[in-house]
Homo-oligomer: A and B are copies of this chain.
Amino acid sequence: MANPIRVAVTGAAGNISYSILFRLASGAIFGPDRPVHLKLLEIPPAMKALNGVVMELNDCAFPTLAGIDITDKAETAFDGVNWAILVGSKPRGPGMERGDLIRENGPIFVGQGKALNKAASDVRCIVVGNPCNTNCLIAMKNSDVGNDRFSAMMRLDQNRAQSLLAEKSGRTVKEVTNMVIWGNHSNNQYPDCENVRIGGKPATEVIGDKEWLLGDFIKTVQNRGADVIKARGASSAASAANAALDHLLSLARPTAAGDWFSAAVCSDGQYGVDKELIFGYPLTSPGDGTWKVVEGLPMSDWAKGKFEKVLNELREEREFVKGLL
């Protein structure tokens, strides 16, 4: 068997990680011939529960699970890892404003950014814990690891958008391509209904109902998280976990010709975004962990309004944490 691939997961005793770890360990992500070594980070009060998760991982007798380390020190968790999936973050408490939440999470990602200096030279860091774009910005700015190694998750929004369009058009999800979620993983994200394609044709052509596309479609994607909580009585876990794994695989496998995927990465000014903001873009990857922003996509004035709104939100978030950058 090949050398184990080393994957760190933070917030490892939480619900999203519970849906990530078993799929990682089962061989479903890196294949049946690639052993996986898990390095799991939690805060001290969650270590006992994490021990229970480790017992269950062992109880699966996965042939591809090469080892598990658990720790409450980020430096130990990230030591030598090839992938770091940063799931853990503080949830919003009662009466807490968005700005408070962002400021509360900041210090966690300062420390984790520094600790990523211990990772393998090929490390790729995926930030899932919310507010993921700004958490990613903080980690990146506090790390010596190259900016191109960081990304934040827009994939749950992309998958939700693709699924909705497939349902509306009566086509399969595979036929829905070229979906971009611009900007921030927040209620102000802009799911691009002008550039997405269904069966190779513009969705605006395939779905005659333009009012739905510009109205309910975008709102449904933006508010889907809250709708899942209402129905399930708990926030999205398995679907968020799946999105994190899809995000990882989109960096680890070549993008299909003509298609792209959505992730938030360090801007180099593309589409007029401030340099170094972690912004949701259309990306392609040759499958070696690197990526390129797809440039030159057209946008109507209406779309530009949505784009500016989410760009301003990310600028505001950056302002909240400027002392940490």
> Within the assembled complex, what's the spacing in Å between the Cα atoms of A22 and B21?
13
> Within the assembled complex, what's the spacing in Å between the Cα atoms of A160 and B58?
7
Known: A63-B174, A236-B59, A238-B18. A52 touches B159 (CB 8 A): no
Nearest Cβ on chain B to A48's Cβ, whole angstroms: 6
Q: A294 on the interface (CB 8 Å rule)?
A: no
Residues of B within 8 A of A228 (CB): 52, 55-56, 59
Q: A51 on the interface (CB 8 Å rule)?
A: yes
Contact B59–A160 (Cβ < 8 Å):
yes
Interface string of A18-62 (1 = CB under 8 A from B): 110111001010000000000000000000110111011111111
> Within the assembled complex, what's the spacing in Å between the Cα atoms of A11 and B23?
21
Q: Which of B59, B158, B162, B237 contacts A159 (CB 8 A)?
A: B59
> Within the assembled complex, what's the spacing in Å between the Cα atoms of A158 and B227?
40
**Sample of 8 more A-B contacts, CB < 8 Å, known A58-B163, A62-B242:** A18-B238, A19-B19, A22-B242, A48-B231, A52-B228, A56-B232, A61-B160, A61-B162
Contact residues, A237-289 vs B (CB, 8 A)? 237-239, 241-243
Nearest Cβ on chain B to A80's Cβ, whole angstroms: 21
Q: Which of B28, B63, B160, B237 contacts A26 (CB 8 A)?
A: B28
Q: A141 on the interface (CB 8 Å rule)?
A: no
- Using a Cβ–Cβ cut-off of 8 Å, how many residues does chain A contribute to the interface with B? 48
Nearest Cβ on chain B to A15's Cβ, whole angstroms: 10
Q: Which of B51, B233, B239 contacts A49 (CB 8 A)?
A: B233
Q: Which of B58, B159, B243 contacts A167 (CB 8 A)?
A: B58
Contact residues, A162-188 vs B (CB, 8 A)? 162-163, 166-167, 172-174, 176
> Within the assembled complex, what's the spacing in Å between the Cα atoms of A233 and B15?
13
Residues of B within 8 A of A63 (CB): 172-174
Residues of A within 8 A of B (CB): 18-19, 21-23, 26, 28, 48-49, 51-53, 55-63, 156, 158-160, 162-163, 166-167, 172-174, 176, 224, 227-228, 230-234, 236-239, 241-243
Nearest residue in B to A160 (C-beta to C-beta)?
Answer: B59
> Within the assembled complex, what's the spacing in Å between the Cα atoms of A317 and B241?
40
> Within the assembled complex, what's the spacing in Å between the Cα atoms of A49 and B60?
27
Residues of B within 8 A of A227 (CB): 55
Nearest residue in B to A225 (C-beta to C-beta)?
Answer: B59
Residues of B within 8 A of A163 (CB): 58-61
Contact B160–A239 (Cβ < 8 Å):
no
